[in-house]
Structure 1
Amino acid sequence: MKAIVAGADAEGISEELEALGVTVARVDSPVFADALEDAGIADAELFVLTDLSEGISITLAKEINPDVRTVCFGSGELPESVAGTVDLVVDPSLLGAEAVAEELVDELA
């Protein structure tokens, strides 16, 4: 399984995914389409955004790969314009990175 994690990842979701055998590519903020393409979004099963202010990257990821599962794992406000396109939003203060990674891997397996 391949995942792209975009943003600072202070909660460590990328490490938790890697611990479960997921190949993870990281993209720093700001997130642009060319960076997503370079990271391999076209064949990724999962896109995790940790910086909700970069919400437009959800749209960019879906334009490149309409089948990618998109998850926002961070605190803050997701721009209203993309709220309907994200598959899952999780606040790390409510559910930790380990639990979220396990659920995502189980769901996509």
Structure 2
Amino acid sequence: MKAIVVGPDRGIADALDAEGVEVTRIEGVASGERLRDAGVDDADLLVVTDAGEATAIPVAKERNPDLKTVAYSPDSMPEFVKGVLDLAVDPALLDAATVAEELA
């Protein structure tokens, strides 16, 4: 399984790695080009940890419609993303290890 984590880690990248998931991180702006370079076309999972990078979700889904998208952030995702988001989890409610175990 391949995952891309966008935004501050919040522990999710290491937790996914511990579950045997191949993780690529994008820090800063997750543009279409950066998502492509990170392997979004072949990825299974996109985890966005910063609501400010929510635009990455529809951009990634356009390139890879089968991509599972997860928001792992204490902030609400914008309305325009909610229609293509598969799962939203607040890190205060579920720790990264639990989320990674379920996703893997």
Alpha-carbon distance in 1 for matches of 2:76, 2:68: 20
Matched residues, number: 104
> What is aligned with 2:7?
7
> What is aligned with 1:34?
33
Alpha-carbon distance in 1 for matches of 2:20, 2:40: 18
User: Unaligned 5+ residue runs, structure 1?
Assistant: none
- Opposite residue 85 of structure 1, the aligned amino acid is V
> What is aligned with 2:83?
84
- Opposite residue 5 of structure 2, the aligned amino acid is V
- 1:1-109 equivalent positions in 2, closer than 5 A: 1-9=1-9, 11-105=10-104
Q: Percent identity?
A: 50
Alpha-carbon distance in 2 for matches of 1:82, 1:74: 14
User: Unaligned 5+ residue runs, structure 2?
Assistant: none
Tell me the alpha carbon deviations over residues 34-67 of structure 1, each in whole angstroms, 9 at most, x when there is no partner.
0000000000000000011211110011011000
Alpha-carbon distance in 2 for matches of 1:24, 1:17: 7
TM-score, scaled relative to structure 2: 0.97
